[in-house]
Structures are given as structure tokens and as C-alpha cells.
């Protein structure tokens, strides 16, 4: 897909994106009322924003505490060898691990930053030993345990 400039978005497009980030379940009619436009043009704009890749999808944001996944760990990982093949193998393994909800390739002392959601410390200990510990090329892991979430969001500032 082509890189589409944000400059192509007008004020109505930006408003639509802002609103959908906070409530993706709005009907077209409700969305149109919020941006002071009629429903058909708003529907067409949303379809265009989806087709051009500005909107990647729609999700329900679940409560991790209610689902026993509220123990959040930020895990820094250093690979023993860092080449394309080894990195691809690591990423492929990580993509298949449900507990890893986010994975970033980072610069600095470590190569990857993982966000891991688990039920508790015992589960995480077993996770490190039985899942992360089985990935061949890992040379170091540093875990930081989230004590309280003060701000968490999915919205991109527009």
C-alpha cells in the first residue's frame, strides 16, 4: 500500500478519526451528527479511510483484571546473535505467544521490548522458564513489573 500523506486528510476526516478512536461502535448516523455532516458522505469518508489504511480495524477493549490477565510485565529481551534470520525466527516465535500482547524492536541495551499479560507472578515465572526460556537465541531477559496502570490508551493523538 502506498504511504498516504496525512496532509490529504481534512478537518472532517480528522474529526471522524478522533471520534472513532473513542467509540468505534457509533452508527453512521450518530457519527454524521457528531461531525455535522449528512450520513451518506460520512459513510463514504469512513470507507475511504478504511481502504486507504488510516483505519486498520475495530476492536472491543477488554478488562484484563476481569479476565485474570491484569499482571502486566514489560520484558526486555537481548538476542545472542542479531542477524536477519535469527531476528525473524525470534519474531515468528513471539507472534505465536498469546501472552505477548505487544512486541517492539528497540535500540539500546536490548533488542526487543515485550508487553506480557499474565494472571500473576507464579504464572509469569513459569512463562519465562517454559516459553521464553525455550527460545534458542535469547541471551538476556530483564523484567519490569507494572505496579499500577496510570494511563493506558489506544488513541493516536491527532
Angular region, 119: left φ>0, alpha ψ -120 to 50, beta rest: alpha
Of the chain, the end-to-end C-alpha distance in Å amounts to 22
**By three-state DSSP, how is residue 104 classified?**
strand
- DSSP lists the bridge partners of residue 140 as 78
Contact (CB, 8 A) for 141 and 132: yes
Per-residue pLDDT of the chain (158 residues; tens, 9 = 90+): 444 456 789 999 999 999 999 999 999 999 999 999 999 999 999 999 999 999 999 999 999 999 999 999 999 999 999 999 999 999 999 999 999 999 999 999 999 999 999 999 999 999 999 999 999 999 999 999 999 999 999 999 99
Amino acid at each position: 500500500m502506498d504511504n498516504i500523506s496525512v496532509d490529504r486528510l481534512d478537518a472532517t476526516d480528522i474529526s471522524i478519526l478522533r471520534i472513532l478512536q473513542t467509540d468505534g461502535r457509533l452508527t453512521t448516523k450518530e457519527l454524521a451528527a457528531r461531525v455535522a455532516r449528512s450520513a451518506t458522505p460520512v459513510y463514504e469518508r469512513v470507507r475511504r479511510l478504511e481502504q486507504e489504511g488510516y483505519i486498520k480495524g475495530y476492536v472491543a477493549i477488554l478488562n484484563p483484571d476481569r479476565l485474570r490477565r491484569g499482571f502486566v510485565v514489560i520484558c526486555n529481551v537481548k538476542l545472542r546473535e542479531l542477524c536477519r534470520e535469527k531476528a525473524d525466527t525470534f519474531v515468528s516465535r513471539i507472534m505465536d505467544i498469546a501472552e505477548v500482547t505487544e512486541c517492539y524492536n528497540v535500540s539500546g541495551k536490548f533488542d526487543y521490548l515485550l508487553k506480557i499479560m499474565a494472571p500473576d507472578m507464579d504464572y509469569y515465572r513459569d512463562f519465562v522458564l517454559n516459553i521464553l526460556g525455550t527460545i534458542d537465541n535469547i541471551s538476556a531477559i530483564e523484567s519490569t513489573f507494572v505496579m499500577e496502570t496510570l494511563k493506558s490508551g489506544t488513541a493516536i493523538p491527532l
